[in-house]
Amino acid sequence: MPRFANPSQFMKLSSYLMPVCGVAAAGFIGVGLYLALFVAPPDYQQGEAVRIMYVHVPSAWMASLVYALVATGSAVGLIWRHPLAHIAAEQAAPLGAGFTLICLVSGSLWGEPMWGTWWVWDARLTSVLVLFFLYLGFIALDNAFDDQERGTRAAAILAIVGVVNLPIIKFSVDWWNTLHQKASVFRMGGPTIAPSLLWPLLVMAVGFLFFFSALLMLRMRSALMHARLRALTFGNP
């Protein structure tokens, strides 16, 4: 860990990994779109509307995954003062907010034709909306103080407290009677979804993951260069 904590080590490593992830993202999302729009069959009940799943579900997975990363980075940054951890959390947060927004909007567009409503205050939808506000709160707190360190600490504490929302999102469909359907991929006893629908979904999800990884590295590189620029301009703290 200490060696990996070195920002110059990160700059070197990411200069190779970032383009690899970028190319992989383009490839997986390209193939994923083809599978989702042309190859996957229409659902016997939902017809073609089921294709919304291929953007809705991967973005929902990313929304929770990225939040877990933001919270982990925040915790590591607070406890071990790891120089890259806070930067990773800060730079991942806007990306996570973006995935959450895609999840909410595409879910709404799926809800109207299938449930007959754009929105319902059931446990799953509400907890994902809370996740979106946690991201916004994290970003706002991080930038709310003149003293950057205080902002970082306050945002990190919010991110760690907000982790309780993740199991609520995951198990909301089991704990409460929700309009939202139950898990059909990550569940005990394996997926209940047909392989012809599952494969395009997984390809798309891997594409989203690569896209996020490439963009996170890009943003962390910017943040490190920005920190160096500040140090050169205002003197080393």
Partner 1 sequence: MMDWQAFFDMGGYARFVWPAYGVAALVLTGLLIWSLGEYRRVKRDLAAREQAMPSRKRARKQARGS
Question: Which residues of the chain form contacts with partner 1 (CB under 8 A)?
Answer: 37, 42, 47-49, 51-52, 55-56, 59, 94-95, 98, 101-102, 105-106, 109-110, 112-113, 211, 215, 218-219, 221-222, 225-226, 228-229, 232-233
Distance in Å, CB of 177 to partner 1, minimum: 25
Spacing of C-alpha 166 from chain mean position: 12
- Cβ distance 200 to 55 under 8 Å? no
Tokens encoding 53: 């799943």
Q: Which is nearer to partner 1, 51 or 86 (CB)?
A: 51
Distance in Å, CB of 58 to partner 1, minimum: 9
Whole-Å CA distances, 19 to 14, 24, 135, 218, 235? 8, 8, 27, 10, 33
Distance in Å, CB of 218 to partner 1, minimum: 5
Torsion sign across C-alpha atoms 191, 30, 24, 227: negative
What span, in angstroms and rounded, lies between the C-alpha atoms of 128 and 104? 8
Residues 6+ apart with CB under 8 A from 87: 73, 220, 223, 224, 227
Q: How many residues does the chain have?
A: 237
Q: Which is nearer to partner 1, 35 or 75 (CB)?
A: 35
Distance in Å, CB of 76 to partner 1, minimum: 23
Whole-Å CA distances, 119 to 122, 125, 183? 9, 8, 19
Q: Which is nearer to partner 1, 8 or 233 (CB)?
A: 233
| E strand or H helix at 62 | helix 53-80
Q: Which is nearer to partner 1, 75 or 92 (CB)?
A: 92
Q: Which is nearer to partner 1, 113 or 167 (CB)?
A: 113
Distance in Å, CB of 118 to partner 1, minimum: 10
Q: Which is nearer to partner 1, 32 or 153 (CB)?
A: 32
Distance in Å, CB of 9 to partner 1, minimum: 18
Nearest to 46 by CA among 156, 149, 184: 184
Q: Which is nearer to partner 1, 144 or 229 (CB)?
A: 229
Distance in Å, CB of 42 to partner 1, minimum: 6
